[in-house]
C-alpha cells in the first residue's frame, strides 16, 4: 500500500499545475476545502475547479492503470 501511495504522489507531479492544485485543496488538504472555499482562495469559478478535479482524478486513474499493465 505504501508503494501505491508513493506511485500516486509521483504521478500527481505529472499533472498540470491547476489539476494538482485542485486535488491538493479539495482532497488531500486536511480538512479538505469545499468547492466554494477553494474558489474564493484561488479566484477560479466553482465549475472550473470541479472540472479540474474531475480531469485530475481521471488522468491519475489512467496513469495508475497503465502502471499496472
What secondary structure does DSSP assign to the chain, as a single string?
Answer: -HHHHHHHHHHHTTS-HHHHHHHIIIIISSSPPPHHHHHHHH---HHHHHHHHHHHHHHHHHHHHHHH-
Confidence of residue 22 (pLDDT cuts 50, 70, 90): very high
| Residue 26 per-residue DSSP state | I
Mean pLDDT across the chain? 94
Please state the rounded mean pLDDT for residues 46-58.
98
pLDDT for residue 68: 66
Confidence of residue 66 (pLDDT cuts 50, 70, 90): confident
Please state the rounded mean pLDDT for residues 16-37.
97
Amino acid at each position: 500500500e505504501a508503494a501505491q501511495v508513493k506511485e500516486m504522489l509521483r504521478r500527481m507531479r505529472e499533472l498540470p499545475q491547476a489539476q494538482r492544485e485542485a486535488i491538493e485543496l479539495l482532497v488531500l488538504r486536511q480538512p479538505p476545502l469545499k468547492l466554494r472555499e477553494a474558489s474564493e482562495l484561488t479566484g477560479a469559478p466553482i465549475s472550473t475547479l470541479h472540472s479540474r478535479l474531475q480531469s485530475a482524478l481521471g488522468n491519475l486513474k489512467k496513469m495508475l492503470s497503465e502502471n499496472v499493465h
